[in-house]
């Protein structure tokens, strides 16, 4: 039975192709907000980090109405590290709106999300977005989309999918790239016409798949999913089972039910087949669990989420400055926070390590884990983390490691440098094609660990003009040793306060990352040197005062401006024998072994990285 008054769609695209901005305009133009209501830009990106970085981290649900039809919209992340979010939310919808940037065209994540949508035989509406860009190449991008659909084995019906041309920022859409749009009406009409309404029988026994999880301090775990059959009511008893875990058999009661309206939730008493709702009352509900009538327990099929590819060790901060800036510093507090994150992040895994002071944290990529670290430090946690490592496994006696498909858009002048660097990191050239007259698109297949530490180097090599995109591309046999960071670390020789005189002498050895007046400790990294070896420097050293030298003569010393590292840059910078100390106020790079003499002995004995 079709529910013609409903449409469930997910907006999918590569990172930064304008999904969230377009959802903003869809909500505004459908009357979701009052005329005088103050609405932030990218209203769906509710997290501080999402707003700052301009990326969507967690899938968000919204709903709008057009011509009496409710359209449930799921805004999905575009970054490869959050692909787990995309995979599972597609289970809730009947169609997808594929956004493609009119200048960048089809990118790695476009292929990934489109492949997932085609596999589930979802209705497809294609939107070429950002047609107002001066460098837009609309006709070429249309060809790219059709080639990608054929490459992914799309059916004739999917190849005939409708195409609209949008400017998400201006809130306009049109059926032709040559005719300017006035509003988003063509997009709404296309969605209603081509996206299949959900099918379900409201009179059949109740069943529902939990496709997403939210967490609330007051309510606990909140499940989100689409009602497949029957109706769900507040106070209803349900059985919980799982397609991949035949032993799971639990009972529970729905204590609250919410419908999505605009970008918020509204409490409701019941919902029927086809609608996407949030529910609470089941404290240990997991993604992939099926809720059903206790008299007919039958799990719904669910695709297993891909395993993590990268791991880091999160440990209690044991530096000389430990406990000065953080509110939560003990191993129990860190452990509780990591396990709380597991409640809503399905792609994350946490395991205890050999010591009680540290934990193995595994995720989809560097960005996935760095956002968790950034979130924890903002909440007042203090910890130290190890450099990222790839997770390997054995197949037929061979060690297999994760691979990445890398797509790089780069000015022709810098192309040689990029290809040389990726070649040295065991990258294999897959494809090369010109983009206009002065840019090239270069595609590589490279071990995931070959990209550790490369992004900042890439921006330097391309003078900030290069665009680098990656996506997980299966496993391959271990490729052998890779070159690590070429620069050596400048390491503080003693604990104290960095002074101008000491820093002036140290800057002749390399580039500094600390300023005068900063507190440093023995074993802390205060800069890096072009020479490959580490050097110990004394930045706390002051000039001896004599009859002829006054302390004020330090003013004449000129220091080169300091290059401060962000959290991601610090993680990329780490050598195997270094750790990153993260507190709410500071990010410090340090050696695992702080004492100079003990470190030298460990290096001679080959134990510095342990």
Task: Enumerate the known binding-site residues for GTP.
Answer: 16-21, 129-132
Contacts of 294 (CB under 8 A, 6+ apart): 237, 238, 239, 251
Spell 204-215 as b/e; 16+ CB within 10 A means b.
eebbbbbbbbbe
Residue written as token pair 């489109």 = 114
Residue 184 contacts residue 172 (beta carbons within 8 Å): yes
In the chain, count H helices and then E strands.
14, 35
Tokens of 411: 């000015």
Query: CA nearest 115: which of 151, 74, 142, 79?
Result: 151
Interatomic CA distance for residues 446 and 429, integer angstroms: 9
Residue 565 contacts residue 453 (beta carbons within 8 Å): no
Q: Which residues are annotated as a binding site?
A: 16-21, 129-132
Interatomic CA distance for residues 369 and 383, integer angstroms: 14
One DSSP character per residue, 438-493 reads TEEEEEEEEEGGGGTTHHHHHHHHTTT--EEEEEEEEEEE---------SEEEEES
Residue 290 contacts residue 298 (beta carbons within 8 Å): yes
Residue 293 contacts residue 238 (beta carbons within 8 Å): yes
Interatomic CA distance for residues 493 and 485, integer angstroms: 22
Residue 221's Cβ-side half-sphere holds a number of Cα atoms within 13 Å equal to 20
Residue 454 contacts residue 421 (beta carbons within 8 Å): yes
Tokens of 158: 């999917």
Cα–Cα distances in angstroms (integers) from residue 161 to residues 89, 98, 120, 124, 322, in the given order = 21, 11, 15, 6, 58
The beta strand positions in 130-195, using DSSP E, are 163-167, 172-174
Tokens of 170: 């201006």
One DSSP character per residue, 571-603 reads HHH--TTEEEEE-SS-EEEEESS-SHHHHHHHH
Q: Say how many Å lie between the first and final Cα of the chain, rounded.
A: 62
């Amino acid at each position: 039975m079709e529910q013609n008054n409903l449409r469930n769609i997910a907006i999918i695209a590569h990172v930064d192709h304008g999904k969230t901005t377009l959802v903003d305009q869809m909500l505004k133009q459908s009357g979701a907000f009052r005329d005088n209501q103050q609405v932030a830009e990218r209203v769906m990106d509710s997290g501080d980090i999402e707003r700052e970085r301009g990326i969507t981290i967690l899938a968000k649900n919204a709903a709008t109405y057009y011509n009496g039809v409710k359209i449930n919209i799921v805004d999905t992340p575009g970054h490869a590290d959050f692909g787990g979010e995309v995979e599972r939310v597609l289970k809730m919808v009947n169609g997808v709106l594929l956004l493609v940037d009119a200048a960048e065209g089809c990118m790695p994540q476009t292929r990934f999300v489109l492949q997932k949508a085609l596999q589930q035989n979802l209705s497809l509406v294609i939107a070429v977005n950002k047609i107002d860009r001066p460098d837009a190449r609309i006709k070429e991008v249309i060809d790219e989309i059709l080639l990608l659909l054929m490459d992914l084995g799309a059916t004739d019906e999917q190849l005939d999918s409708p195409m609209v041309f949008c400017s998400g920022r201006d809130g306009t859409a049109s059926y032709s790239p040559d005719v300017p749009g006035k509003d988003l009406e063509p997009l709404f009409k296309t969605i209603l016409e081509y996206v299949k309404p959900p099918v379900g029988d409201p009179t059949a026994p109740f069943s529902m798949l939990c496709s997403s999880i939210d967490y609330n301090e007051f309510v606990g775990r909140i499940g989100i999913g689409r009602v497949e059959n029957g109706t769900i009511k507040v106070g209803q008893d349900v059985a919980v089972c799982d397609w991949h875990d035949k032993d799971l058999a639990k009972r529970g009661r729905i204590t609250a039910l919410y419908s999505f309206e605009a970008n918020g939730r509204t409490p409701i008493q019941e919902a029927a087949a086809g609608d996407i709702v949030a529910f609470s009352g089941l404290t240990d509900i997991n993604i992939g669990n099926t809720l059903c009538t206790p008299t007919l327990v039958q799990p719904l099929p669910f695709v297993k989420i891909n395993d993590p590819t990268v791991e880091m060790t999160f440990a209690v901060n044991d530096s000389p400055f430990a406990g000065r800036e953080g509110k939560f510093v003990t191993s129990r507090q860190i452990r509780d926070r990591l396990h709380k994150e597991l409640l809503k992040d399905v792609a994350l895994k946490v395991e205890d390590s050999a010591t009680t002071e540290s934990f193995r944290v595994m995720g989809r990529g560097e960005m996935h884990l760095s956002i968790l670290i950034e979130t924890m430090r903002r909440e007042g946690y203090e910890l130290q983390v190890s450099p990222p490592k790839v997770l390997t496994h054995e197949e037929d006696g061979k060690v297999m490691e994760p691979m990445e498909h890398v797509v790089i858009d780069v000015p022709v002048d810098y192309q040689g440098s990029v290809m040389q660097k990726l070649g040295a990191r065991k990258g294999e050239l897959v494809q090369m094609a010109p983009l206009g007259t002065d840019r090239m698109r270069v595609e590589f297949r490279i071990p995931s660990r070959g990209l550790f530490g490369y992004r900042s180097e890439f921006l330097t090599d391309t003078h900030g003009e290069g665009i680098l995109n990656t996506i997980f591309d299966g496993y391959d046999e271990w490729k052998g040793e890779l070159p690590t960071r070429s620069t050596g670390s400048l390491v503080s020789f003693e604990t104290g306060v960095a002074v101008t005189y000491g820093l002036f002498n140290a800057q002749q050895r390399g580039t500094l990352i600390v300023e005068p007046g900063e507190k440093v400790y023995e074993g802390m990294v205060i800069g890096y040197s072009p020479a490959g070896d580490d050097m110990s420097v004394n930045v706390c050293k002051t000039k001896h005062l004599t009859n002829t030298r006054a302390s004020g003569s330090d003013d004449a010393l000129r220091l080169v401006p300091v290059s401060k590292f962000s959290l991601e840059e610090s993680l990329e910078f780490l050598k195997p024998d270094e750790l990153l100390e993260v507190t709410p106020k500071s990010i410090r790079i340090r050696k695992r072994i702080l004492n100079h003499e003990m470190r030298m002995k460990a290096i001679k004995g080959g134990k510095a990285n342990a």
